[in-house]
Amino acid sequence: MGEREVMPLTADMAREAMALGGRILALRGDTMAPAVVLDVVGDSDPRIDVMFEDGFEDYWYLTKEEGTHYLAAFVDHEDERRAVKHAAGPVLPQDDATRKASPLYRGNLAYFPAAHAAIAAHSLKSDRKHNPNTPEAEAPHWSMDKSSDHLDCVGRHLSEIVEHSDPDLVLGGAAIDEEEYQRTALAWRAMAQLQVFLMRRYGYAPGGHAR
């Protein structure tokens, strides 16, 4: 991958690395080792939970001088993100046991048909908004580099869900049902973060309409 910039870790960097599948460097014994960010807890005294490649977990508080300057350093996640997007692996598990234990229709689509239809409609509307020049035959498509802070967005949509629809809410020039929009956008973001996580962990390739 070549030489990459390393800098002191911040909470924002840790959140970005967690959302995009990037890695950080964290102190393991006497050396710095690659790790993934599991969670960023708190704002005024943020705790960074990490997991090393062998599964060992640790954490640090970034407001402590040793945490900010000695225990962790940020590594640009661009190479890891590019590797995830262009993985040569299959899009789904290939071994028979795993496939038979993952009933895609009976255990997913047959559980949540209306929810999947809402997510599909959300994907198309969002694609028309963000990629208006995409040919109809290619729409919708997931531009994975755009707005990839999925976990932060999950939290935002959760906080914005309301009990009653706002009849005056306008989005993209059209009136919308706010509660339905927030719940659907939340589900889309949850699916997106899980997809990126599984692609990174198991080497799956993106789906046919993701790039």
Q: What is the pLDDT of residues 98-117, one digit of tens each?
A: 888 999 899 999 999 999 99
Residues 100 and 197 in one domain: yes
Mean pLDDT for 16-32 is: 73
The total number of structural domains in the chain stands at 2
Higher pLDDT, 8 or 159: 159
Please report the pLDDT score of residue 172 as a whole number. 58
User: Among 83, 115, 139, which residue terminates a domain?
Assistant: 83
Is residue 211 assigned to a domain?
no
Residues 70 and 101 in one domain: no
Closest CA to 75 of 173, 177, 170, 1: 1
Residues 48 and 126 in one domain: no
Q: Which token pair is 34?
A: 């690659």
What's the pTM value of the predicted model, to 2 decimals? Answer: 0.58
Question: Which structural domain, as residue segments, surrounds residue 17?
Answer: 6-83
Please report the pLDDT score of residue 184 as a whole number. 93
Are 8 and 65 within 8 A, CB to CB? no
Are 57 and 33 within 8 A, CB to CB? no
Residues 194 and 108 in one domain: yes
Residues 117 and 166 in one domain: yes
Are 18 and 74 within 8 A, CB to CB? no
Residues 72 and 95 in one domain: no
